[in-house]
Amino acid sequence: MGYLRQVLTICGKDLRSEFRTKEALNASLAFALVILLLFSFAFDPSSEQINEISGGLIWMAFAFAGALILNRSFARELFNDCLDALIYSPVPGSALFLGKALASYVLLLIVELVSFPIFGLFYNVQWARKFGWLLFVLLLASWGLTVVGTMFSALTVNLRLRELMLPMLLYPMMIPALMSAMQLTTVLIAGQDITGDNWIWVRLLIGFDIIFTALAVAFVETVLVG
Amino acid sequence: MDERNFTYMFYGLAAVWLIVVLYVVSLVMREGKLRRELESVRRMVEDKEAKR
Amino acid sequence: MREKLIYLMGLAAALMLVRNLYVILLGLPDEADQGAIYRIIFFHVPSWFTAFGMFVASGTASALYLARKKQSYDELAVATTEVGTVFVAIGLVTGMIWARIIWGIWWTWDPRLTWALITWLVYAGYLMLRRAIDDPTARAKNSAVLNIFSFTSVMITYKAIDWWRTQHPAPVLSIRGAGGAMDPAMEQMLYLNWLPMLMIAIILVMIRMRQEGQQREIESLRRMAHAV
């Protein structure tokens, strides 16, 4: 079996089992909406202010919702020792990792693409004026979130305090990607183009994705097998 | 005196040593804890071996 | 042998510090704009150098642990990380005290400061992960991987003043190509004060490493006791 086939098999398996129960997806989506609702109490949702903080708002919601999905990524294999079975299967660790990351990526993107229109609706924000660029930022930042998150999910899978440790480790490490995404999303929602100073955020985002994907693929075998 | 900002300079220098001292105190406390733990575990092992 | 080395280094560091403090307080003149408070830089910058050195050492130790699987590398990694976070704390606190006078505020969300704080949080996360894992081998292995991930934030902190326009002062040291904006006598003093601070850090690392060894001994004895 080719490497790509292995990745897709793992990804397909994860997505299939997720779509059967929709456990993580529903929880994460509901959570994202609750957070968006809560933010409306933190400030006046009808004011002009919303344009300046929209990027930060929506990415906070995605980061929280994402942690729920990522927590499940490896934890779902704990029952019946599925994780051990996966590790001893002929699939290399990196393929297992990429497959799982890809599955979480798809789930996270679904949550994000559903949340965006709802956010726009409730906060009266025209979010889709630069949809192409926004999608580009969304794809890059979400990949960063999933790749680090899946890796840390593998790191913390055997811990008693798993649900607590993952966000503790994930959020500080995520800040470069999250910060870039927030800045760029704010600019794009306001309907402006990415110019001058803001290119650094795009570069940071791409650099983040490349570095952490490389690190994760290189070290995941060590984490899983030892 | 204080137009030279002497007070805050003093605070700054004091803070450096305060943090170092705090860490050293935490090290010393851990040292004591480890020593006690090591002793009790050693005794436990000896007891168990004597019983066998 | 190790004990003697620790005492010897401690003594040397103390002597150097007394001499440095004398020169810093009485030998060097006030800075033109800042008055006496600029003297914080003689501790602020060296503590960041030290922290940076500690994190480089701990990243290297973790990489070596993964390559060779020797426990002593893991001990080195945890000791250097912990001492590194202490020196980051010193850097942050001295910087804040300086900022209170010069900028009028304790803290500003400027890229350099923000990244420094993130670095501290990331390494605190590393230390917390270690506490959460009971099995020594899994602990060493998983935390080593996390440590290598963490090092990226150190690199970003280091480069932050080049990448963003920050409120934090631009590099003034000649080693970063600033063309020696700082007076050579003062710059020399900076390095002279770094030496004792680095020595203190090394002493702390050695003590912490020994404790980690004891910890491991306790754990193995305990396992033995359960096995009997």
Q: Measure CB to CB from residue A161 to each of C132, C138, C141 and give the nearest one.
A: C132
Residues 3-32 of A with CB under 8 A from C: none
Give the residue-averaged pLDDT of C20-47. Answer: 82
Q: Is C35 helix (H, G, I), strand (E, B) or coil?
A: strand
**Residues C6-13: what's their mean pLDDT?**
91
Q: What is the ipTM of this complex?
A: 0.85
Residue C22 touches partner A, C-beta closer than 8 Å: no
Length of chain C: 228
Report the 10 Å Cβ neighbour count for C12. Answer: 13
Residue C175 in this model has a pLDDT that exceeds 70: no
C34 touching B (Cβ < 8 Å): yes
Q: What distance in Å separates the CA atoms of residue C78 and residue B2, rounded to the nearest whole number?
A: 42
The shortest C-alpha distance from B14 to chain C (Å) reads 9
pLDDT at B52: 72
Residue pair C87/C51 in contact by the 8 Å Cβ criterion: yes
Of A22-31, A140-149, C164-173, give the range with the top mean pLDDT: A140-149
Q: How far apart are CA A89 and CA A220, in angstroms?
A: 15
Q: Could you tell me if C208 lies within 8 Å of chain B, comparing CB atoms?
A: yes
Contact (CB<8Å) C35/B24: no
Q: Model confidence at B3, in pLDDT bands (50, 70, 90)?
A: low
Q: Of A99, A117, A58, A125, which is closest to residue A220 (Cα–Cα)?
A: A99
Rounded CA gap, C7 and A14, in Å?
58
Residue C178: C-alpha distances to residues C159, C170, C173, C183, C192 (Å): 14, 8, 6, 12, 20
Mean pLDDT of chain C: 87
Measured between CA atoms, how close is C147 to chain A, in angstroms? 11
Q: What is the pLDDT of residue B1?
A: 47
Q: Using one digit for the tens of pLDDT, what is the confidence trace for A32-81? A: 999 988 888 887 777 777 777 888 889 999 999 999 899 888 888 888 88
**Residue C218: closest CA among chain B residues belongs to which residue?**
B38
What pLDDT, on the 0 to 100 scale, is given for residue C172? 67
- C98 vs B12, B20, B48: nearest CB: B12
- Asked whether the beta carbons of C204 and B27 are under 8 A apart, the reply is yes
The amino acid sitting at C135 is D
- Check residue A226 and give its pLDDT: 66
CB burial of B17-28 (b: ≥16 within 10 Å; e: otherwise) equals: eebbeebeeebe
Q: What confidence score (pLDDT) does residue C178 get?
A: 53
Distance CA B15, CA B10 (A): 8
Whether residue B10 contacts residue C43, with contact meaning beta carbons closer than 8 Å, is answered with: no
**Identity at A183, one-letter amino acid code:** Q
pTM of the model: 0.88
User: C125, A173: Cβ pair inside 8 Å?
Assistant: yes
Q: Chain-wide mean pLDDT for chain A?
A: 88
- For residue A212, the chain C residues in CB contact (below 8 A) are 149, 152
Alpha carbon B30 to its chain centroid, in Å, reads 6
Facing residue for C145 by CB, picked from A155, A159, A161: A155
Interface with C, mutate which of A219, A220, A221, A224 (most C CBs under 10 A)? A219
Q: Write out pLDDT tens, residues C102-159.
A: 888 888 888 888 888 999 999 999 999 998 888 888 899 999 999 999 998 888 888 8
pLDDT digits (tens, 9 = 90+) for C78-110: 999 999 999 999 999 999 998 888 888 888 888
Per the model's pLDDT, the better-predicted residue between A173 and C2 turns out to be: A173
